[in-house]
A and B are shown apart, each in its own frame.
Chain A
Amino acid sequence: MDLTLKIWRQKNAASKGKFVTYKISDISPNSSFLEMMDILNESLVLCGEDPVAFDHDCREGICGACSMYINGHPHGPDKAITTCQLHMRRFKDGETIVIEPWRARPFPVLKDLIVDRTAFDKIIQAGGYVSVNTGGIPDANSIPIPKVKADLSMDAAACIGCGACVAACKNASAMLFVAAKVSQFALLPQGRVEASERVQAMVAEMDNLGFGNCTNTGACEAECPKEISISNIARMNREFLSAKLGAQKPSGRTGSDA
């Protein structure tokens, strides 16, 4: 396949970026999108040019590192996959492909297609955990959990933290990301204990980091490579409301975490 690539190039966080056009030819339709980028980069290096920097690691859709905004969609045109799972057979010979980084204020560009997503780590640090220390835990089967609930929790827990939801949202809202974590725990007895503090702390941190509000456009769900359901946002809103109303007073927190 022969393709024209319009790629966002930006030297570093401080400099201004611009689109640069590259021609690339003889790409196998069986190669992955990132392998196509590898081939481009090999040729750039051989010409003494700076290759295009992008995040990637597992190349199988689970680490959440890859993050390209391709032809107007986070992770490209296909549903339910990450950039690294996208294959060139999805494109037409001769097509022009536009490749950009995630664009959202809380995710500043570091270089070319690499952005800084530490804001997501900060949200988790604010409360995305169950406060248990290592050791001294009762047997894993001491609390049975209905399969349906465990499965729903797993659906939410499948989030890979890539940030496509934020990139897809015109408000750069992180609601789907936060709601997925809040839901995973809220659905399990182990997580219920701190559900109220957790949702408040995580939402406060999200606001604090400059993520926008949710206006229910549903773009996040549509672009999520793991198909995390927007119903998690509804669940989080309920959790948040009942926490605010004090329906669930903080309880059961261990002393060390108070």
Chain B
Amino acid sequence: MAELNSKIPKGQLAEKWTNYKDNIALVNPANKRRLEVIVVGTGLAGASAAASLAEMGFKVKNYCYQDSPRRAHSIAAQGGINAAKNYQNDGDSVYRLFYDTIKGGDYRAREANVYRLAEVSNAIIDQCVAQGVPFAREYGGLLDNRSFGGAQVSRTFYARGQTGQQLLLGAYSALSRQVKKGNVELFTRHEMLDVVLVEGRARGIIVRNMVTGEIERHAAHAVVLATGGYGNVFFLSTNAMGSNTTAIWKAFRRGAVFGNPCFTQIHPTCIPVHGDFQSKLTLMSESLRNDGRIWVPKQKEDAEKIRKGTLLPTQIKEEDRDYYLERRYPAFGNLVPRDVASRAAKERCDAGFGVGETGLAVYLDFSDAINRLGKSTIEARYGNLFQMYEKIVDENPYKTPMMIYPAVHYTMGGLWVDYELMTTIPGLFAIGEANFSDHGANRLGASALMQGLADGYFVLPYTIQNYLADQISVPKFSNDLPEFKLTEEEAVNRLKKLMNVRGKNTVDSFHKKLGHIMWEYVGMGRNAEGLKKAITEIRALREEFWKDVKIPGEMNEINPELEKASRVADFLELGELMARDALHRDESCGGHFREEFQTTEGEALRNDQEFMYAAAWEFTGDTQEPKLNKEVLDYEFVEVKQRNYK
């Protein structure tokens, strides 16, 4: 059985991280040079960790599946990054950021980790500015901020609608500097297929060179997974096409426990689905809710006419519009957290007030803001997002309200990690979206970038030393050890098996079916009956996949269909675990909404007596059910309340 020791340091909340750092073992410079670390992933978490570790003197190997580290999915983040700077003098503080994050996560995250996150948030902004990240500024030359959901202060730093891009390019430049110095070896177009354990510790990975198809063995003293989230299990999501679960799923199968797999974030403002050929969904940044107002028609008849195309939204009078977020949540209005905003949109559409051809859309309207601030101000704030919208939908959002609908966006779940960001496999760390993270059951906007960079720049580089300090006498690993050969063989056999199915249906057709099951039963609203159905249907689909998938080409060449198949095979296993986790959690919390558990007003109803824990699932074999472990969450410093944004 996996042992869950969260290793939370003793002491007052505000002192824990300092105490920890003061007391851990460090590795001296001469020894650092002899220690090798594998970092899989070049997103915000991976690139910042690889660069920082290399600057400290460790020898780093860094991997990504794209052709360049700069293209990691983090590049697509739009809206911004939080920090507790209180530059706006609006009462922000480390404690308030910590508190908002804990509350936003519906009291399902670990206090000590979240406090640390808030504590290092300010250093991230300093670091990025020093790297030459061109954040938005005010006329006086100081940094500008905007507001995001779930907060009553302005603490979000941004670079137009391209914050993720600019932060990632900052980390990429730091990484590039270390590549030049010979401290980081880059492996682009390399996909990790498995992790290699030697005597119970993570000592390397098996990767596929995606150009030559060769399977390679790479060894190191420790392995860090920074491979991002698994939202693509839903097929349609805002994630990049290649985002996958393979690395963390294989780690799970090798013994790392998986935390809260069912905690998925459905983002309220995405461009609605428009056809079954659709390959992905596009986010419209949450920052738009600073100036956009969300509404649907008050009258069903109006909604019907709009759906038929006989009435335009601009023709609906002010008093006939239902600004339902402002109505239901006057204190936070359009800036309620994502889970709340998404459910409210679904509620209106299910009740027949939805707009767009499908009725699965609501309006995000900028006309008030344009009247108040002028078109040019709105253009300066969101120009690239408006352009993106117009390109896809072929409508001008300056003139007619945007149509939006919730879509899968982020996964709070991931590999369970302790305070040191180590999984239950010694020497295997998980950072960024890949871990089960600091966001509990719901992540606040602009906090993923913060967490990725906190983990990579400021947390892991310390905590990993506490592990590596007693590894200094371990000589460089040979990848000829039997464990490496065996794991490689298993990876090769699995790919061969996939190629040899020679069925009749494409990988995408299976992925779409899986996505449909997940969205229907493990999506925004879940119930026991549906979840049981999902488990049965996913199993059946998995079997069918292994009998009927068709992959053209060869293994030893560029083969995108094979890449996809290998990822979908893992999603087909993960989906079942997500449903299982959702089924066992007989409560609603954050993004996990069980229809059986809601207040009379339709809000999520937690059950703290029974479920105030992180669910940590343990793999027990292909034919057996996974085992549930619990990390009970102790709230020592905040009072646990029912969330209220009214």
Contacts and interface: CB of A to CB of B under 8 A. Distances in A.
Interface of A: 11-12, 28, 30-32, 34-35, 38-39, 42, 44-46, 48-51, 53, 55-65, 80-81, 85, 87, 89, 110-111, 114, 116-118, 120-121, 124-126, 128-135, 137-141, 144-147, 150-151, 153-154, 157-158, 160-161, 184-185, 188, 190-191, 257
Contacts of A138: 126, 130
Contact of A154 (B159, B164, B394): B159
21 contacts: A11-B557, A30-B394, A38-B277, A50-B552, A56-B241, A57-B242, A61-B391, A65-B66, A120-B68, A121-B70, A121-B186, A124-B172, A132-B174, A138-B126, A144-B140, A147-B138, A151-B137, A154-B134, A154-B160, A157-B159, A161-B71
A116 B67 contact: yes
Contacts of A131: 177
B637 interface: no
B66 A57 contact: yes
Contacts of A151: 134, 137
Nearest to A145: B141
Given A61-B388, A121-B176, A132-B131, 10 more contacts: A35-B277, A45-B552, A48-B552, A57-B73, A62-B164, A110-B558, A111-B557, A118-B68, A154-B166, A257-B177
B176 to A, nearest CB: 4
Nearest to A27: B277
B282 A134 contact: no
A89 B395 CA distance: 13
Contacts of A144: 137, 140-142
B316 interface: no
Contact of B279 (A30, A59, A61, A141): A59
Given A51-B560, A63-B75, A63-B240, A134 B55 contact: yes
B134 A153 contact: yes
B537 interface: no
A120 B173 CA distance: 12
A254 B345 CA distance: 53
A34 B476 CA distance: 45
Interface in B359-392: 387-388, 391-392
A130 B131 contact: yes
A111 B73 CA distance: 23
Interface string B42-61: 00000010011001000000
A158 B168 CA distance: 12
A146 B216 CA distance: 50
A130 B162 contact: no
Given A51-B561, A59-B280, A132-B130, A45 B55 contact: no
Nearest to A85: B391
A129 B162 CA distance: 19
A161 B69 CA distance: 11
B388 A60 contact: yes
Interface residues of B, number: 81
Interface string B546-567: 0000101100011011000000
Interface in B115-146: 123, 125-132, 134-143
Contacts of A124: 70, 172-173, 176
B127 A137 contact: yes
B471 interface: no
A114 B130 CA distance: 35
B135 A150 contact: yes
Contact of A190 (B48, B129, B164, B275): B129
Given A30-B275, A38-B279, A118-B67, A140 B143 contact: yes
Nearest to B242: A57
Contacts of B155: none
B69 A121 contact: yes
B278 interface: yes
B552 A135 contact: no
A118 B187 CA distance: 11
A81 B130 CA distance: 30
Given A35-B277, A87-B391, A190-B131, A12 B558 contact: yes
A60 B558 CA distance: 24
Contacts, number: 223
Nearest to A185: B132
A214 B51 CA distance: 33
B156 to A, nearest CB: 14
A141 B88 CA distance: 12
A60 B557 contact: no
Given A30-B275, A51-B561, A133 B55 contact: yes
B391 A62 contact: no
B394 A57 contact: no
Contact of B558 (A56, A111, A185): A111
B169 interface: yes
Interface string B170-212: 0011101101100000101000000000000000000000010
Interface string B66-94: 11111101011000000001010000000
**A-B pairs with the 4 shortest C-beta distances?**
A144-B141, A129-B173, A154-B134, A137-B126
B159 A135 contact: no
A85 B384 CA distance: 12
A53 B558 contact: yes
A42 B279 contact: no
A139 B174 contact: no
A158 B163 CA distance: 10
Contacts of B337: none
B241 A141 contact: no
B274 interface: yes
B423 interface: no
B525 to A, nearest CB: 27
B133 to A, nearest CB: 8
A150 B143 CA distance: 10
A118 B176 CA distance: 12
Contacts of B137: 144-147, 150-151
A38 B511 CA distance: 14
Interface in B492-543: 504, 506, 508-509
B458 interface: yes
Contacts of B388: 60-61, 85
A190 B164 CA distance: 20
Nearest to B144: A147
Contacts of A116: 67
A55 B188 CA distance: 13
Contacts of A48: 550, 552
A81 B73 CA distance: 19
Contacts of B172: 124
Contacts of B458: 134-135
Given A51-B561, A81-B391, A147-B139, A141 B75 contact: no
Given A12-B557, A57-B240, A126-B180, A63 B76 contact: yes
Contacts of A42: 506, 508-509
In the complex, which of the residues B134, B277, B550 has the most CB atoms of chain A within 10 Å of its own CB atom? B134
Contacts of A60: 76, 280, 282-283, 388
A89 B275 CA distance: 14
B165 interface: yes
A65 B364 CA distance: 30
A85 B508 CA distance: 21
